Structure 1
Amino acid sequence: MNIKEFTDRMKAAISDALNREVQIVNPLKTNGIRPYGLAVKEPDSNTSPTIYLEPFFERYLDTDDWAQAVKDVLAFYENNVLTDSVDMKWFRDFSQIQKKLYYRLINYEANQELLAQVPHTRFLDLAKVYYADCRIAEDMPGSFLVRYEHIRLWGIDENELRETAEENTPGLYPAHIKNMFPVFTPDIPPEALEVPEDFFIPMYTLSNVEAENGAAAMCYKGVLDDFARKIEDDLVILPSSVHETILLPMHKNDDTDRLRDMVYDINRTILDRSEFLSDNVYIFNRESKQLAIA
């Protein structure tokens, strides 16, 4: 059974179990991914939460237990369903949504189809795309990708959207830089390791405090500049994923061709396609304060 067959069969099972109208959805996501999902229409609600089926399909392939797969999907639905209508007035009022706007980074070339549908700003080989936080409660986070129809609804242009998100994002998702050395050796102090003093190359992760879609933090004003001055070196930046980048001091990592090959291999052998950001390596010059592709 493939994912499409699983989705068709699960749609019928969930519709029968809930006695609800169920639709198959296959939306375009970043990096050309189109996940399969089910949208259940509640009779007394104006929302149709989507249940994405890939995790349930993977579990089914491991267990070959169809009855359990249906139970798992139903349990997920019961835990996330909204039976009451949601007041959508805030959605149409820009003054209500203005402070919720922020941006994420995605790859420019890998997302041409998506970028044709959404406001965006080119940034090197990447693009800033804009989102709005639409969480209904603290324990139910959510966001939506801002499309052209949204800015028309709000009566704003792309410049106002861009300026608002640029102002909001560092405050909504503050940058966080962490030394990677303790991650590799959490229980061993450096002096206890019998290795040469220069064996460990300083490596740092740059993300946001939520460690989600944190690659955008390298765009925040002053973040790279402040860190480069702190370590007194230019920076080599590896696009680890959409969630984080890796910062390296330039004087110990000037072989950018080798690093680019490493990034390329990791992107194709380890990283999930949905998290891909770039095959390039970036250089931040602390004197010019410029970020560029190596």
Structure 2
Amino acid sequence: MNKNEFVQKVCSAAAYRLGERYQVAVSGAGESNGVRMHRLLVRHRYQEVTFAVYLNECWKYYESGMPFPQVMNRVMDICRCLEQIGDADIDYFKSFEKVKDRICYRLIGRKEDREWLESVPHIDFLDLKVFFYYVFQAGNQGEVEVQIKKTHMGMWETTSEELFELAKVNTPKLFPWKYCNILDMIYGDMELESDICDEGETDNLDDGIPRMWVLTNRSYQYGATCILYPEVLAKLAEKGQSYYILPSSVHECIFTKCEDEPERDSFKSMVEDVNRYQVPADEVLSYSVYFYDASERKIRLLT
């Protein structure tokens, strides 16, 4: 059983053990080189709390010889622990002062469920939307997320704009950005951080490496949000080079220099093909192509 088969088997077994009251899914599965941090996502059908179990360590236990039923017992123990943390966090969730330092944002496409969008505070960004959530990270076992609703915003007497300003500070701290050439993503082991072009290390953006690079975060989950981080896009254009941004998925964006003008028309079809054939429907970010103008320090939507 390979890693992806293991992750899917864990998902099925967890859904069976937890029962119909819970929705169970996998995030980050499907990469042949195991780059992503595989997570088991569990959400009670009648609550706004989602907890995520990190499965990479569980895979290591299985790979070292631990029987699958015993691995599942560990997974379920972590689920129960995270659910208790989530329940405890809800008790003080009413206090804006207690939660404001862990309010983060995330990018989604505008074609999300309209009824859901009406229930959550959000801000428009080009043809995308920014929404907000509270996150509690439980060491290397997992994390608990609470979707921020308009009812929370009313209880806290705050605004979408204030949530955005808080998330703009918190998200880069909790989920730092990472930048690499695309071959490290496809063929390399990014967990070793070999040849990674990380924060403050943009000297190797010149020719001599592949023309495409990937922007994500260090958890490889919802890393496309990094295009919102203050000064990141300007940092990546510090040599005065404008570039195109291709939304590979909600987890990452692909960058390519605008000197490749003849290829511009092919970018949109490239994004469409990736979304249609390689990205799960719930991980598609956008079918659009974006352009960052280094001279104007501004990102815009290409029509």
Same fold, TM-score > 0.5, yes or no: yes
Q: What is the CA-CA distance between 1:23 and the residue it aligns to?
A: 4.8
Whose radius of gyration is greater, 1 or 2? 1
**In 2, are the aligned partners of 1:240 and 1:277 still within 8 Å (CA)?**
yes
User: How far apart are the structure 1 equivalents of 2:209 and 2:290?
Assistant: 21
Judged with a 3 Å threshold, the aligned counterparts in structure 2 of structure 1 residues 285 and 40 are, in CA distance, closer, same or farther, namely closer
Provide the residue aligned with 1:204 in structure 2. Answer: 213
Judged with a 3 Å threshold, the aligned counterparts in structure 2 of structure 1 residues 184 and 72 are, in CA distance, closer, same or farther, namely closer
Q: Tell me, yes or no, if structure 1 residue 122 matches structure 2 residue 124.
A: yes
User: How far apart are the structure 2 equivalents of 1:167 and 1:70?
Assistant: 42
**In 2, are the aligned partners of 1:102 and 1:130 still within 8 Å (CA)?**
yes
Gaps of 5+ in 1: 1-9, 16-21, 28-35, 42-46, 53-68, 190-197
Q: Map Cα deviations across residues 59-97 of structure 1 (whole Å, 9 max, x no partner).
A: xxxxxxxxxx99997774344214967364321111110
User: How far apart are the structure 1 equivalents of 2:101 and 2:149?
Assistant: 17
Q: Select the residue among 132, 145, 148 that pairs with 2:134.
A: 132
Q: Tell me, yes or no, if structure 1 residue 248 matches structure 2 residue 247.
A: no
Secondary structure at the counterpart of residue 110 of structure 1: coil
Judged with a 3 Å threshold, the aligned counterparts in structure 2 of structure 1 residues 172 and 123 are, in CA distance, closer, same or farther, namely same
User: How far apart are the structure 1 equivalents of 2:223 and 2:251?
Assistant: 4
Q: How does 1:67-78 map to 2 (within 5 A)?
A: 76-78=75-77
**In 1, are the aligned partners of 2:21 and 2:45 still within 8 Å (CA)?**
no
For these two proteins, the number of residue pairs brought into alignment is 245
Q: Select the residue among 11, 21, 24 that pairs with 2:21.
A: 24
**In 1, are the aligned partners of 2:133 and 2:147 still within 8 Å (CA)?**
yes
Secondary structure at the counterpart of residue 121 of structure 1: strand
Q: Map Cα deviations across residues 168-204 of structure 1 (whole Å, 9 max, x no partner).
A: 22222222111223445659x9xxxxxxxx8964111
Provide the residue aligned with 2:167 in structure 1. Answer: 165
User: How far apart are the structure 1 equivalents of 2:116 and 2:48?
Assistant: 22
What is the letter of the counterpart of residue 239 of structure 1? P
**In 1, are the aligned partners of 2:49 and 2:145 still within 8 Å (CA)?**
no
User: How far apart are the structure 2 equivalents of 1:291 and 1:40?
Assistant: 38
Q: Map Cα deviations across residues 257-287 of structure 1 (whole Å, 9 max, x no partner).
A: 2110111011011111121000011110111
Q: What is the CA-CA distance between 1:214 and the residue it aligns to?
A: 0.9
Secondary structure at the counterpart of residue 254 of structure 2: strand
Q: What is the CA-CA distance between 1:241 and the residue it aligns to?
A: 0.7
Q: What is the CA-CA distance between 1:245 and the residue it aligns to?
A: 0.3
Q: Select the residue among 277, 285, 288 that pairs with 1:280.
A: 288
**In 2, are the aligned partners of 1:238 and 1:280 still within 8 Å (CA)?**
yes
Judged with a 3 Å threshold, the aligned counterparts in structure 2 of structure 1 residues 199 and 258 are, in CA distance, closer, same or farther, namely farther
Judged with a 3 Å threshold, the aligned counterparts in structure 2 of structure 1 residues 264 and 87 are, in CA distance, closer, same or farther, namely closer
Q: What is the CA-CA distance between 1:238 and the residue it aligns to?
A: 0.5
Judged with a 3 Å threshold, the aligned counterparts in structure 2 of structure 1 residues 260 and 23 are, in CA distance, closer, same or farther, namely same
Q: Tell me, yes or no, if structure 1 residue 80 matches structure 2 residue 88.
A: no
Q: What is the CA-CA distance between 1:110 and the residue it aligns to?
A: 3.4
Q: Select the residue among 71, 92, 95 that pairs with 1:93.
A: 95
Judged with a 3 Å threshold, the aligned counterparts in structure 2 of structure 1 residues 95 and 201 are, in CA distance, closer, same or farther, namely same
Q: Map Cα deviations across residues 204-251 of structure 1 (whole Å, 9 max, x no partner).
A: 111112221111111222111121223x42111100111110110110
User: How far apart are the structure 1 equivalents of 2:70 and 2:265?
Assistant: 50
User: How far apart are the structure 2 equivalents of 1:40 and 1:145?
Assistant: 13
**In 1, are the aligned partners of 2:106 and 2:132 still within 8 Å (CA)?**
yes
Judged with a 3 Å threshold, the aligned counterparts in structure 2 of structure 1 residues 125 and 38 are, in CA distance, closer, same or farther, namely closer
Provide the residue aligned with 1:151 in structure 2. Answer: 153
Provide the residue aligned with 1:234 in structure 2. Answer: 242
What is the letter of the counterpart of residue 21 of structure 2? I
**In 1, are the aligned partners of 2:23 and 2:45 still within 8 Å (CA)?**
no
Q: Tell me, yes or no, if structure 1 residue 178 matches structure 2 residue 187.
A: no
Tell me which moved more, 98-107 or 200-209: 200-209
What is the letter of the counterpart of residue 80 of structure 2? V
Provide the residue aligned with 1:59 in structure 2. Answer: none
For normalisation by structure 1, the TM-score amounts to 0.69
